[in-house]
Chain A
C-alpha cells in the first residue's frame, strides 16, 4: 500500500501533537451524546452551536484523519436550526434531538452518496433511506456525514477503502481498525457525538477497541438491515459506536426493533425491545464471568494484562470467574471466511455496470460490461473474497466448504449455549493487538484475517458483543475489553459494561488530535 501523502501529513500532525500523554483528558470539553442532548433539550446550548462546533473541528482535523467520505454541513446546520426552532416552540422531540451523528457509508441515504468506499459505487445515489437512517431522523438526530470503511466492509483496518485512508487518531501512523474505522476514528476524535457502524466479523468492536471508544454489535435480528449494503447477510448487523456505554444504550434505543422490510429482524413478541437506559445503572448482582483462558492466550501480553486488570475490577465488584470450554472457537475464522465470502460473492453480483454504479467505457459486448466494470470497480480484497466465495459455492465443492462451514457454525453456537449455562457473559480481548501500523498487514491477508479471531465467533453465533475501553499499552494505544452475552440480552450486557465504566476513566481519555 503506497500512501503518498502520509509523510507530509505526519509532519503536520507532529506539530499539532505534543509529547504529553495522549490519554490526557484536560483539554476535553467534549461531552457525551446524552449530555449534549439534555443540554439542548433544556436550552443550555442549541443544536446549531453544537453542529457548527463539530464542523469547525472537522475542518481542522478531518484532513489528517480522513474519517469521512462525505459531510453535509449546510444540510446539517439547516436541520439543527429547525430542531432548535421546534425546541423553542416547546415541541417534544426525539431521543437524539439535535445531536450530530455520523453513519457508516454502507447505509443508504437519499441525500449524498452511498459509496461503500468502493469505486464501483463512488457516485451512487440511493433512492431510499436505510431503516436505521429513518430511525435516526425520526429521533431528530442531525446526520452530519458518512464515514469511511473498508470497501464493502471487507477488512480490519480501513486500508481497503477504495476512496480514502483513515488513520488512527491516537497515532496517525496506525490504522483505526476496520471495517467501521471511519466511524470509530470520528467518534474518538470528536468529529461527531456518536456513529453507526456495521459488524460482520468484528467491524464495530475491533475498530472501537483500536480507537478507544465503545462499540456494540447487537444480536443478529435486533436491528433492521434494510438499507445496509449487504456483505455477509447472515452475519451483518448494525450497531452504535459511542463515547460511553450510556450513549450506546441511547443509540440502541433509537435503532432497535422489528422491521417489516427485513424478514430476519426479530419479532418483538419473541424478543421484546426494552428501554436500554432505564436500568442501565443497576449493577448485575452475582455476576458470573466466563473466561476461556487458553483461547485468550493468543493475545499480546500487554493486551492480556489490560484484560486481566479489567476482570480484576469486576472481581472487586463481586463478580465470580468461571472457566469455560469453547472447543470449536479455533475453527471460527475458517468457518467465517467460507460463510461470509460465499454470501458476499452472491450479494456483490449485482454490481455489474448494467443498472447503476461504475460502467466500463466502450465494452465490446455485454459480457465485457460485466467483466470490465467489475475488474475496474472492485478493489483487491473484494475480488479476493468474491473469488473465494464463488469457489466455495461451486458445484462439487459446496458440501466440502459451505455446508461444512455451516456445521461448524452450529457447533460454535452450541459452545456458546453451553457456556452461557454457566455464566452471564464471556469476557475476552477484542483484538489480539492494539492498533497496528498502516501497511503492516496489507500484503498478508491471512495475518489481517487473524485480527478478527476474537470477534468473529459472536457473528457466527448471532449473539451480542460489546467493546469497551479498558486501558492502554506502552505505546499509549487503547485496548478494548470484549463482553459477549446470550442472544437478545443487550440490556444486561450494557449494564455489565456500565458497571466497569463507572469504576474507570478510560472512556474519558481522548487522543490529542
Chain B
C-alpha cells in the first residue's frame, strides 16, 4: 500500500453563526445580554408564552443585508421567515424562526490571502435566525434552562466547500471576524460565543488514476480559531487513515457529525448516520415576508465601508507601509480609523503608523482598552508626528512623549518642553559644542580626517559625544553636517 502513489485533496465548507450586536433581540424588545442573571432578560415573546407573537427586528435585517453586500452576495427583493421544528428544552417554542428557501443573501464570495495570492471562496447563502437558550446541567438529577440568549439574532453564513486546508479555513474565519467588526454588526467576541463554526470536511483521494471521496464529516459548534484549525487538521489525518485502513468512501459511508474534544485535541463521533431529521419547515404565519426595495437597499449600501482586505492593500500602495504594518493597522477598524484621522490631520503615514503600532497599541493592550480610549486624540498624534517630521524632536523622543501623553493627558509640545526633549537645531549653539568635542578628542578628530578604515568609526564616536553632551537633544542631522564641514 505504501508504495502506491496517491494524491489527497482536502475539501472544506464552513457554516458560521455570527451573533449580531443589535440593541434588542430578533423578535422582541428584550435587550441583548451576556453574563446577566439567568432568565433576567426575557419576555413573553422570547419565552414562547402562549399567545405571544414575534415582531421582526429591522436593524437585524439591515445588519444581515450589510453583511451580504460585504460578501458580494445577491440580495433578493423578497425573503420570508420559516419555522424549523425540533424539540429541545432550550428552544421554548419547540420551533426556531429561521429562513429556509429564501435567505436574505445568496451567491456571494469572500477573498482570502493565500501563498498563491487572493483566493475566492464562494458564499452559498446567509440567512437570519433566532438563537436558542442554554441548558445548564449543574444540579443533580435535573437540568435548568437559561433563556437570556433565546431570541438573539444570529446570521448563519454558509460557504461552498472551496477551502483546501485548515489554515485557509482559519484565514477565512479571521477575515470574516474582521469584516463583521468593520461593519459594526457584531462584536464577534469569541469568548462570548459571538462566532461559532461548523466545518464540513472530506477528502478526495486519487490513487492509480481513480478518485475516491471520503464521507463528509461535520464538526459541530467550534468557538475558537484554534479549535477550528486543529479540528480540521485532525479530521484530515483521521479520514486519510480511515480510508487507507478501510477504503470507505462517501457512497458507502454516510455523513456523520463529530464534536471537538478540546483537551484531547481529537474529534469524537456524535451521530453516525444522518438521522432522518425532519424539521417540517413551513412559512411562519405570524410574520409578514420581507420586501427589500431598491430604496432601502441603496440606503443600506450607503453604510458599506471599505473592508479590511481592501484597506490593507491601499495602505501598502498609497501610504507605502509594509504589508505587516498595514495588516496590524487594519486588523481593527478603530485603529485604522484613528490612523487615517491622524494622517488626515497632517501626520506622515509612516510616523503615525510607528507611533500607533509601537506605542499606542502596546499601551492599549496593557490597559485592555481601545486605542481611542487612551486619551490622545488623532490630532495630538498628528502634532507629535509633525514635530518629528520638522526635527523638533527625535523619533525616540516622540515615543517617550506619547507614553507621557497617555499618562498625564498633557499636550505633546508641553511635554517636549517639560521633559527637555526639544532638539537643538540651532547651528550656532551646536557648532560650539562640536568645537568642544573636537578639542577634547584630538585623536578621533585626526583619525576622521585621515580617512580610511578608522574614519567612519571616529565620526560615529564624535557624533556620539555631541549627543552625550546635549543629553540626546542635538538634532543628529544638523550635528553631522557641522562636524563634516569642520573636518572637511
Contact = CB atoms under 8 A, between A and B. Distances in A.
Contacts of A352: 87, 94
Nearest to B286: A233
A394 B282 contact: no
B55 A263 contact: yes
A261 B51 CA distance: 11
A262 B286 CA distance: 8
Nearest to A402: B282
A261 B49 contact: no
A126 B49 contact: yes
6 contacts: A108-B51, A262-B55, A263-B55, A264-B287, A350-B50, A395-B278
B37 to A, nearest CB: 18
Contacts of A107: 51
4 tightest A-B contacts by CB?
A: A349-B94, A234-B285, A233-B285, A393-B280
A96 interface: no
B22 to A, nearest CB: 17
Contacts of B280: 345-346, 390, 393-395, 398
B288 interface: yes
A262 B47 CA distance: 16
A57 to B, nearest CB: 30
A346 B286 contact: no
A260 interface: yes
B469 to A, nearest CB: 77
Given A116-B50, A128-B44, A229-B50, A263 B287 contact: yes
A449 interface: no
A130 interface: yes
Interface string A256-286: 0000111110000000000000000000000
B83 interface: yes
Interface in B84-100: 85, 87, 89, 92-95
A65 interface: no
Contacts of B48: 350, 355
- The size bracket of the interface on A is 35 or more
Nearest to A396: B278
Contact of A393 (B89, B143, B282, B286): B282
Interface string B67-107: 00000000000000001010101001111000000000000
A420 interface: no
A124 interface: yes
Most B CB within 10 A of own CB, among A228, A229, A350, A395:
A350
Interface in A233-262: 233-234, 260-262
Contacts of B288: 263-264
Given A390-B280, A394-B278, A261 B143 contact: no
A342 interface: yes
Given A349-B85, A350-B50, 14 more contacts: A227-B52, A229-B50, A229-B51, A260-B55, A263-B56, A345-B280, A349-B94, A349-B95, A352-B94, A354-B92, A355-B47, A393-B280, A393-B282, A395-B278
A431 B229 CA distance: 66
Interface string B284-300: 01111000000000000
B285 A343 contact: yes
Contacts of B49: 108, 126-128, 356
Nearest to B56: A263
A390 B93 CA distance: 15
A126 B50 contact: yes
B55 A228 contact: no
Contacts of B85: 346, 349, 393
Nearest to A374: B87
Contacts of B286: 230, 233, 263-264
A395 B275 CA distance: 14
A127 B46 CA distance: 13
A227 B83 contact: no
Contact of B53 (A127, A234, A263, A402): A263
A260 B27 CA distance: 12
B145 A354 contact: yes
A225 interface: yes
A195 B93 CA distance: 29
B193 interface: no
A404 B286 CA distance: 20
B54 interface: yes
A152 to B, nearest CB: 10
A263 to B, nearest CB: 5
Contacts of A394: 278, 280
Contacts of B95: 346, 349
A342 B282 contact: yes
Contacts of B87: 349, 352, 370
A390 B92 CA distance: 18
A416 interface: no
Interface in A454-504: none
Contacts of A228: 51
Most A CB within 10 A of own CB, among B51, B55, B143:
B51
A261 B52 CA distance: 8
Contacts of B282: 342-343, 346, 393, 398, 402
Contacts of A366: 89, 143
Contacts of B281: 393, 398
A262 B44 CA distance: 13
A227 B49 CA distance: 9
Interface in A354-398: 354-356, 366, 370, 390, 393-395, 398
A264 B283 CA distance: 13
A226 interface: yes
A22 to B, nearest CB: 37
A370 B85 CA distance: 14
Nearest to B133: A355
Interface string A94-122: 00000000000011100000101000010
Given A370-B87, A390-B280, A349 B51 contact: no
A233 B93 CA distance: 14
Contacts of A402: 282
Given A346-B95, A366-B143, A393-B282, A126 B51 contact: yes
A154 B195 CA distance: 43
Given A349-B93, A393-B280, A226 B52 contact: yes
A76 B44 CA distance: 26
B285 A108 contact: no
B50 A121 contact: yes
Contacts of B287: 263-264
Nearest to A128: B44
A394 B83 CA distance: 13
Most A CB within 10 A of own CB, among B52, B55, B281:
B52
Nearest to A230: B51
Given A128-B44, A264-B288, A227 B94 contact: no
Interface in B25-68: 44, 47-56
B50 A108 contact: yes
Contact of A261 (B55, B92, B285): B55
Nearest to A226: B53
Nearest to A124: B50
Interface in A337-352: 342-343, 345-346, 349-352
Nearest to B55: A263
A262 B55 CA distance: 7
B53 A225 contact: yes
Most A CB within 10 A of own CB, among B89, B281, B282:
B282
Contacts of A261: 53, 55
Nearest to A121: B50
Contacts of A264: 53, 285-288
A124 B281 CA distance: 29
